[in-house]
Structure 1
Amino acid sequence: MIVVSNRVSVPKAAGAAGAQGGLAVALNSALREHGGIWFGWSGQETEEFTGHLDMQRNDGITTATIDLEPQDIEEYYNGYANRTLWPLFHYRIDLTEYDRNFGEGYERVNARFADSVLPLIEEEDLVWVHDYHLLPLGSQLREKGVKNRMGLFLHTPWPPTRLLVSLPFHERLVASMLEYDVLGFQNTEWLESFLHYVQKEMGLKVNLDNSIEYQGRRVIARAFPIGIDFREFTEAAQGAEAREAHDRLKSSVRGRKILIGVDRLDYSKGLGERFEAFGRFLADNPQDAGKAVLLQIAPPSRGDVASYQQIREDLERKTGHINGAHADVAFVPIRYVNQGYPRAQLAGFYRAADIGLVTPLRDGMNLVAKEYIAAQDPENPGVLILSQFAGAAHQLKDALQVNPHSTEHVAETIRKALDMPLAERRDRHAKLLASVRENDVQRWREDFVKALVGKNAVRTGTTEHNEAA
């Protein structure tokens, strides 16, 4: 298997602080079982692009990375990926920027990815491409003669047609995606949005099995809900590092109830609305205002993008306002931490928390919700409060689901979670845990690969460059 993504997580760094991203965790787990190569950008700059591959092998996984020029990074990554596609795919058309240079840089870097990964693709290899950074990569590889089975998995939402059509050249982008053999989405909502687009805007036929008729081929489009490495995470949650983190957090709050949020610093995560809802809870429940603490872990990301600088400033202002209104000399209601932690420590923090507060405004899946469930003590579990707009809400129906845009609704649900009887907490947790255990990362990988090697394959054989070699 050849896995391609924007960035590559070198396995030896997987336990390092800040390495809790869902894609890194899931693919490291999948590649350890399946074998293959993970290819992508190193995260480093080079004065002149050469296509040089840096090959490494760590913990049973081979990685291959390339460096990009500063202009590539600005136009492809900071530009089209994170100032055009990311906000649009998260329904934030007000933050979406359309710039011709961004689009040109996006196509140029996808072409460079195609040129660089091409020598790694051998006969009968499966090619598995990930996320919105590389939507046209399959088309670029087809143009170079690659006939191998290729699949794309999108980790973000797919927007409704009425939003997507605001993107210049939207049909060309979607047409390039149809060069893959399998298109995977996080849940049925994103899948249905994509199928609606290809029917309405492109006039394509969609079969009862959701396959798409395109230029004489059938392209499989399905929902493949991603999960966590359940066994690995639960083992980490019971280890010494997790126990130490659990005890440290518990002792620091001196008997107060703990609410926890763990999110990248991103406007799609609804952190500002979350802080306001917690502030509303404190104001509405003055008798309990000194009895609950919100720990928000929010490692910064994409600091070169203006909207991310703005969200950080906004959260710092709201934290100061809420703490100023409700703190005293022995109590600070919001602990706002701008750094990441190793996953074992996060597991301990989750287990210590009475409430997991996962309230994105829009999210492809959200593995934090699943990690919180997996980390709980079944005999005395915490309560998951989950946004109805997170992809995980389709599976985790026994969480307390909320509208994150309503501070009143979230504040009232915090009150309900804190008052929930033990019997109800156990019952909800048992059902949630069964879902997280059943829909783990292994099942996700197996289901996607099974579809990718399906009997309806029409492209067989090898690639032209291999035949020439």
Structure 2
Amino acid sequence: MSRLIVVSNRVAPTQEGRPAAGGLAIGVLDALKETGGVWFGWSGEIVGEAGEPVIEKHGNVTYATVGLSRRDYDQYYRGFSNATLWPAFHYRTDLARYDRQEYAGYLRVNAMLAKQLKALLKPDDIIWVHDYHLLPFAQCLRELGVANPIGFFLHIPFPVPEMLRTVPPHEELVTGMCAYDVLGFQTDADRQSFVDYIERGHFGHVSEGGMVHAHGHMFKVAAYPIGVYPDAIAQAAQQFSDRKPVRALREAMRGRRVIMSVDRLDYSKGLVERFQAFERFLLNAPGWHGRVSLVQVAPPTRSDVQTYQRIRQTLEGEAGRINGRFAQLDWTPIQYLNRKYERNLLMALFRMSQVGYVTPLRDGMNLVAKEYIASQDPADPGVLVLSQFAGAAEQLPGALVVNPFDLSQMAEALERALSMPLEERQARHADMMGPLREMDLSKWRDAFLADLGHVATAATVTRNAVKFANIAA
């Protein structure tokens, strides 16, 4: 029986009973626990020199992790992955920088990880690679002679061709991506951006069924929007609603309305614009003073990267300025929490709030939006204010969709959400729960792996036919 081999930049901690933090980790663990297999990637440790993978087995899942040297971490992770690809793919070319040595480090680490993985592979293994840190990973494996099926899923946006070309080695990167058997994207717009790059650059063509012929390889390109388990989220939201932090917030609010936001501390999330739109709402609707608070949870991320240090300082400054302008002795407009909370606890906080405020400037999917809807009480649900630039906007028709660059529109949406009648809130919530259940996390996983199996089988038949034809000749 085939094993599933999942490859990602980071391997999530294996603590039993603790939910994984992100969509990638949740989906990976779910797939592996059902099928068994291997999760391979960086351990998160900085080591003197990368050695052999550390192997741990928990149940039917094997975790294979490697450390990175300081040089590899600086060039591959802090450098090209997060100082070049991340900002460019999120349309922030003003924050992107390119360094040839960092790109060389990116390629070097991908090649090193591919070599480490090859030693663990069996002939029937199916390999599923995740995210922008590993764009050339299949190409590295192919160069080592690995013929196993290899699929790739991008969790962040894929930029339009004009934006992608701002990354100097764009052609080399896309050539590497063409070594996969299946390329998966969050939205059809992301898929189309990749296809446009291939066709406009005359690198290949697309045929029926999303099959792309480019750089001497045939592979499938499709959108696989990642989902959540809505019923499990609803259950967790109810179970954790009496935990101490939730009770404390409820008591501190004293009956006030709560606008809830949860994001990593990242410039792509539109946090500064979100605070400023809330300020405009307070200016335009003085009747809400003292009656509503914005609770922003923003755990720090990549704290050793200067750009992220600046966004933290800016956000803290904005929160202080707005609170200083509007606060009363018994009311703080913005509660800004720069720390992590357990995921199930966040679901309970979502459930007790009246508005979910999810307004990234650019996002691949944004599972927070889906988690907010799934956590609500159907009898008295909150309202989701959602950016049009989050992939989730395509699947959540009951949200109040806004342009995060339009502060007035966001302010108006907040007022509308807080004033919305119960019947409308219930109808909107029901409209969104249908798609959440229809395209849950299992459907995402199964759809991708089914396509990978089909394409890989077809590719094997084609390779064998060519081989036998050559022998006969």
Quick one: distance in 1 between partners of 2:240 and 2:189?
A: 40
CA offsets 1:87-132 (integer angstroms, 9 cap, x no match): 0000001111010011000000001110111122112111000000
Quick one: distance in 1 between partners of 2:233 and 2:153?
A: 23
Quick one: distance in 2 between partners of 1:99 and 1:460?
A: 42
Quick one: distance in 2 between partners of 1:45 and 1:340?
A: 22
Check the 8 A contact 2:290/2:331 in 1, yes or no.
yes
Q: Specify the alignment match of 2:24 in structure 1.
A: 23
CA offsets 1:196-230 (integer angstroms, 9 cap, x no match): 00111143111132210135542100000001133
Check the 8 A contact 1:42/1:67 in 2, yes or no.
yes
Q: Give the drift of 1:47.
A: 0.8
1:348 paired to 2:351: no
Check the 8 A contact 2:123/2:148 in 1, yes or no.
yes
Q: TM-score, normalised by structure 2?
A: 0.94
User: Residue 394 of structure 1 aligns to which amino acid in structure 2?
Assistant: E
Check the 8 A contact 2:278/2:411 in 1, yes or no.
yes
CA offsets 1:390-446 (integer angstroms, 9 cap, x no match): 011111122000001111110000000011110000000001111111111100000
CA offsets 1:318-346 (integer angstroms, 9 cap, x no match): 00000001111111111100111111111
Q: Specify the alignment match of 1:162 in structure 2.
A: 162
Out of 9, 16, 32, the residue aligned to residue 12 of structure 2 is 9
Check the 8 A contact 1:266/1:308 in 2, yes or no.
yes
Q: Specify the alignment match of 1:43 in structure 2.
A: 44
Q: Specify the alignment match of 1:465 in structure 2.
A: none
Quick one: distance in 1 between partners of 2:183 and 2:381?
A: 37
Q: Secondary structure at the match of 2:312?
A: helix
User: Residue 336 of structure 2 aligns to which amino acid in structure 1?
Assistant: Y
1:203 paired to 2:203: yes
CA offsets 1:348-380 (integer angstroms, 9 cap, x no match): 100011000000000000000000011000000
User: Residue 40 of structure 2 aligns to which amino acid in structure 1?
Assistant: F
Q: Secondary structure at the match of 2:220?
A: strand
Quick one: distance in 2 between partners of 1:150 and 1:203?
A: 21
Check the 8 A contact 1:296/1:336 in 2, yes or no.
yes
Q: Give the drift of 1:10.
A: 2.4
User: Residue 34 of structure 1 aligns to which amino acid in structure 2?
Assistant: T
Q: Specify the alignment match of 2:471 in structure 1.
A: none
User: Residue 32 of structure 1 aligns to which amino acid in structure 2?
Assistant: K
Q: TM-score, normalised by structure 1?
A: 0.95
User: Residue 192 of structure 1 aligns to which amino acid in structure 2?
Assistant: Q
1:294 paired to 2:294: yes
User: Residue 143 of structure 1 aligns to which amino acid in structure 2?
Assistant: E
Quick one: distance in 2 between partners of 1:451 and 1:3?
A: 16
Quick one: distance in 1 between partners of 2:18 and 2:103?
A: 35
Q: Specify the alignment match of 2:69 in structure 1.
A: 69
Quick one: distance in 2 between partners of 1:61 and 1:417?
A: 44
Task: Name the CA shift for 1:408/1:341 in 2 (closer, same or farther; >3 Å).
Answer: same
Q: Give the drift of 1:269.
A: 0.2
CA offsets 1:58-114 (integer angstroms, 9 cap, x no match): 354221100010000000000000000000000001111010011000000001110
Quick one: distance in 2 between partners of 1:70 and 1:353?
A: 43
Q: Give the drift of 1:234.
A: 2.5
Q: Give the drift of 1:457.
A: 2.7
Q: Secondary structure at the match of 1:453?
A: helix
Check the 8 A contact 2:241/2:349 in 1, yes or no.
no
Quick one: distance in 2 between partners of 1:8 and 1:15?
A: 14
Q: Give the drift of 1:459.
A: 3.4
Q: What aligned pairs does 1:137-176 form with structure 2 within 5 A after superposition? A: 137-176=137-176
Check the 8 A contact 2:204/2:212 in 1, yes or no.
yes
Quick one: distance in 1 between partners of 2:23 and 2:409?
A: 28
Q: Specify the alignment match of 1:80 in structure 2.
A: 80
Quick one: distance in 1 between partners of 2:14 and 2:30?
A: 10
User: Residue 195 of structure 1 aligns to which amino acid in structure 2?
Assistant: V
Structure ranking higher on relative contact order (CA contacts 8 Å, 6+ apart) = 1
Q: Secondary structure at the match of 1:428?
A: helix
CA offsets 1:4-34 (integer angstroms, 9 cap, x no match): 0000012316727xx5222112211222122
Quick one: distance in 2 between partners of 1:461 and 1:158?
A: 30
1:124 paired to 2:127: no
Q: Specify the alignment match of 1:325 in structure 2.
A: 325
User: Residue 45 of structure 2 aligns to which amino acid in structure 1?
Assistant: Q
Task: Name the CA shift for 1:216/1:106 in 2 (closer, same or farther; >3 Å).
Answer: closer
Q: What aligned pairs does 1:179-194 form with structure 2 within 5 A after superposition? A: 179-194=179-194
Quick one: distance in 1 between partners of 2:34 and 2:423?
A: 38
User: Residue 357 of structure 1 aligns to which amino acid in structure 2?
Assistant: Y
Check the 8 A contact 2:178/2:215 in 1, yes or no.
no
| Alignment size in residue pairs | 459
Q: Give the drift of 1:247.
A: 3.3
Quick one: distance in 2 between partners of 1:246 and 1:426?
A: 23
Q: Secondary structure at the match of 1:432?
A: helix
CA offsets 1:242-286 (integer angstroms, 9 cap, x no match): 665543322220000000110000000000000000111111111
Q: What aligned pairs does 1:376-387 form with structure 2 within 5 A after superposition? A: 376-387=376-387
Cα root mean square deviation, aligned: 1.7
Quick one: distance in 2 between partners of 1:201 and 1:417?
A: 45
Task: Name the CA shift for 1:115/1:163 in 2 (closer, same or farther; >3 Å).
Answer: same
Between 314-323 and 247-256, the greater mean CA deviation after superposition: 247-256
Q: Give the drift of 1:231.
A: 3.6
Q: Secondary structure at the match of 2:174?
A: helix
Task: Name the CA shift for 1:336/1:180 in 2 (closer, same or farther; >3 Å).
Answer: same
Quick one: distance in 2 between partners of 1:389 and 1:378?
A: 26
Check the 8 A contact 1:124/1:461 in 2, yes or no.
no
Gaps of 5+ in 1: 463-469
CA offsets 1:29-57 (integer angstroms, 9 cap, x no match): 2221221111000010111222x111112
Q: Secondary structure at the match of 1:459?
A: helix
Q: Secondary structure at the match of 2:94?
A: helix
Q: Give the drift of 1:385.
A: 0.5
Q: Secondary structure at the match of 2:65?
A: strand
Q: Specify the alignment match of 1:467 in structure 2.
A: none
Q: What aligned pairs does 1:245-324 form with structure 2 within 5 A after superposition? A: 245-324=245-324
Q: What aligned pairs does 1:416-427 form with structure 2 within 5 A after superposition? A: 416-427=416-427
Q: Secondary structure at the match of 1:146?
A: coil
Gaps of 5+ in 2: 464-473
User: Residue 69 of structure 2 aligns to which amino acid in structure 1?
Assistant: E
Quick one: distance in 2 between partners of 1:369 and 1:59?
A: 32
Q: Specify the alignment match of 1:361 in structure 2.
A: 361
Check the 8 A contact 1:10/1:58 in 2, yes or no.
no
Q: Specify the alignment match of 2:238 in structure 1.
A: 238
CA offsets 1:136-156 (integer angstroms, 9 cap, x no match): 000000001111110000001
Quick one: distance in 1 between partners of 2:174 and 2:334?
A: 43
Between 205-214 and 319-328, the greater mean CA deviation after superposition: 205-214
